[in-house]
């Protein structure tokens, strides 16, 4: 149901600027050269399972959000940075160590909700210098995941307030990790007028967490403005 709703949502939103772009001419040259752009939009991340030596984690599919800032060197090449965040449900399973290695026997598992985010640096290549054009992109950066499961430890942090002096707060630390992340994607871009555009594309992302680099895939819809 979620995927069907998503496809309908993306189809309707992508179709919105087509009439305006068609009136101006989809084959017309764009106005991207030497201009900055900013995007904001939803991302739908598909579910995946990550296997470890003695455990596995099943991540649910869900929506995410993000924004980006890019600089168009010319009509085809752009460089920029991108931030994404989502709150995602998962199920963790722990392997029963009393059975032979590789046996799919688990002690059970637990459900949780974690937070995932990443900060990326991207390069985008737009195939045509037109208002309507396919594009490809690649990026690398760093990602973070917080399980929201307490480690049992308590940390205290302090900061200086000009009115009240030092203020200290205690908080419970949680299990989490960070890792190198790289991605690739492809899609289509529609420039509507001189200032606004929309991008719809598929994005595959790999997270280097040591034992393997699991792939997380997204469908993205970015609404942007040129400056």
Average pLDDT, the chain: 83
DSSP, res 29: B
Give the pLDDT band of residue 95 (cuts 50, 70, 90): low
When pLDDT is averaged across residues 37-53 and rounded to a whole number, the result is 89
- Which comes out higher in pLDDT, residue 227 or 166? 227
**What is the band of 16 on the pLDDT scale with cuts at 50, 70, 90?**
very low
- Residue 15 predicted with pLDDT over 60: no
| Tokens read off for 127 | 């195939």
Please say whether the beta carbons of 133 and 188 come within 8 A. yes
Beta carbons within 10 angstroms of residue 218's beta carbon? 22
Q: Which two tokens stand for residue 126?
A: 């737009």
Cα–Cα distance for residue pair 113/111, rounded to 1 Å:
7
Distances (CA, A) of 50 to 136, 144, 149, 183, 185: 27, 15, 18, 17, 21
CA distances from 147 to 71, 89, 91, 102, 176 (A): 35, 10, 11, 25, 6
**Inter-residue contact 191 to 12 (CB < 8 Å):** no
Residue 108 is given by DSSP the state E
Q: Please give the CATH architecture assigned to the domain spanning 2-143+184-226.
A: Beta Barrel (2.40)
The per-residue pLDDT for range 199-220, each reduced to its tens digit, is 999 999 999 876 678 899 999 9
> Does the predicted TM-score (pTM) go above 0.95?
no
Contact of 5 with 212, CB cutoff 8 Å: no
pLDDT tens digits along 145-190: 888 877 778 778 888 888 888 888 887 778 788 899 999 999 999 9
- The pLDDT tens digits for 62-88 are 999 999 999 999 999 999 999 999 988
Element (H, E) at 61: none
**Higher local confidence (pLDDT), 97 or 128:** 128
Give residue 211's pLDDT.
65
Domain residue ranges of the chain, discontinuous segments joined by +: 2-143+184-226
């Amino acid at each position: 149901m979620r995927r069907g709703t998503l496809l309908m949502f993306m189809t309707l939103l992508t179709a919105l600027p087509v009439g305006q772009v068609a009136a101006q001419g989809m084959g017309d040259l764009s106005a991207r050269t030497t201009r900055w752009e900013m995007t904001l939009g939803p991302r739908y991340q598909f579910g995946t399972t990550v296997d470890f030596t003695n455990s596995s984690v099943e991540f649910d599919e869900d929506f995410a959000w993000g924004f980006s800032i890019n600089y168009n060197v010319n009509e085809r090449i752009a460089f920029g940075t991108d931030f994404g965040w989502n709150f995602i449900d998962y199920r963790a399973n722990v392997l029963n160590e009393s059975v032979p290695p590789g046996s799919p026997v688990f002690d059970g598992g637990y459900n949780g909700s974690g937070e995932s985010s990443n900060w990326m640096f991207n390069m985008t290549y737009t195939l045509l210098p037109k208002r309507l054009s396919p594009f490809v992109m690649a990026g690398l950066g760093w990602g973070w995941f917080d399980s929201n499961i307490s480690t049992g430890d308590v940390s205290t942090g302090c900061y200086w307030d000009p009115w009240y002096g030092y203020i200290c707060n205690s908080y419970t630390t949680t299990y989490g990790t960070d890792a190198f992340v790289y991605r690739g994607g492809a899609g289509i871009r529609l420039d509507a007028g001189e200032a606004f555009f929309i991008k719809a594309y598929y994005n595959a992302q790999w997270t280097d967490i040591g034992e393997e680099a699991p792939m997380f895939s997204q469908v993205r819809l970015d609404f942007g403005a040129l400056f």
